């Protein structure tokens, strides 16, 4: 194994990714910790160092039934978040 050929990839901080979603106003889907059947979708308009998120146009999506419930503006605690991904357009 040749250690001299490592690629110089910069690490991206999670806060940087969240800030990018907020700036682009792109819709995101958030997977919840210990609630694999429910996902939250919306646009990020605010966050803090604890990864608490403020979402607008938020909705709760039930993955088994496909049901969707509009929530509006919510504060989602960072400790409940498992994954954040951009929704396809």
Instruction: Write down the pLDDT at residue 88.
Output: 81
Instruction: Count Cβ atoms below 10 Å from residue 28 Cβ, excluding itself.
Output: 21
User: Between vectors from CA 12 to CA 86 and to CA 17, what angle results, nearest 5°?
Assistant: 30
Instruction: Write down the pLDDT at residue 9.
Output: 79
72: left (phi over 0), alpha (psi -120 to 50) or beta: left
Instruction: Write down the pLDDT at residue 10.
Output: 84
Instruction: Write down the pLDDT at residue 78.
Output: 95
Instruction: Write down the pLDDT at residue 7.
Output: 65
Q: Show the low-confidence residues of the chain (pLDDT under 70).
A: 1-7
Indicate the CATH number for domain 11-86: 2.30.30.100
How is the chain split into domains, by residue range? 11-86
pTM for the model: 0.84
Instruction: Write down the pLDDT at residue 6.
Output: 62
Q: How far apart are CA 89 and CA 86, in angstroms?
A: 9
């Amino acid at each position: 194994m040749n250690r001299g050929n490592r690629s110089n990839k910069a690490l991206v901080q999670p806060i940087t990714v969240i800030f990018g979603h907020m700036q682009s106003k792109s819709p995101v889907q958030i997977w919840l910790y210990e609630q694999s059947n429910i996902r939250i979708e919306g646009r990020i308009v605010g966050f803090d160092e604890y990864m608490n998120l403020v979402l607008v146009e938020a909705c709760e999506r039930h993955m088994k039934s496909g049901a969707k419930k509009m929530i509006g503006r919510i504060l989602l605690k960072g400790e409940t978040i498992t994954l954040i991904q951009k929704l396809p357009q």
